Structure 1
């Protein structure tokens, strides 16, 4: 999207060499972004990434809670010999 917006701005303000490019070249990054979003949503990639992030946050929250109770890794006693 950022590349597309940059190229669009350069084309609009007629900055060389982008001013001489055809419009389809300037708008191509938007089409590629739309294709990526379609693929990511239809394949489940977006949902998987969201679930992984949620699971990671849950694990961190659980670890902090255990450490606050003295039962986490930091709170474990060393075994006696």
Structure 2
């Protein structure tokens, strides 16, 4: 997401011809979009994306379980 944000900002600066970016080569301005694509390929290939999604689902599941236990009065007491 970072690369996309940087790419959009650079693209706007180049298109509106603002600042030093106006003199830059188009390849340099569009490079963050290529880096974002490489990041997505790497993240999907290594399982990073799936692992993050599973961690998020596990966290939500544990929060639901804890909430239900609390509602039923099964709150664990602190050990002495």
TM-score normalized by the length of structure 1 = 0.88
Larger relative contact order (Cα-Cα within 8 Å, sequence gap ≥ 6): 2
Equivalent residue, structure 2, for 1:29: 32
Unpaired segments ≥5 residues, structure 2: none
1:12-61 Cα deviation digits (max 9, x unpaired): 01112001000111001000000000000111100000000000000010
Unpaired segments ≥5 residues, structure 1: none
Q: Within the alignment, does 1:39 sit opposite 2:42 as a pair?
A: yes
Q: Please report the RMSD computed on the Cα atoms of aligned residues, expressed in angstroms.
A: 1.8
Q: Within the alignment, does 1:56 sit opposite 2:44 as a pair?
A: no
Structure 1 runs (4+) greater than 3 angstroms displaced:
none
* Larger Rg, first or second structure (1 or 2): 1
Q: Which has the higher helix share?
A: 2
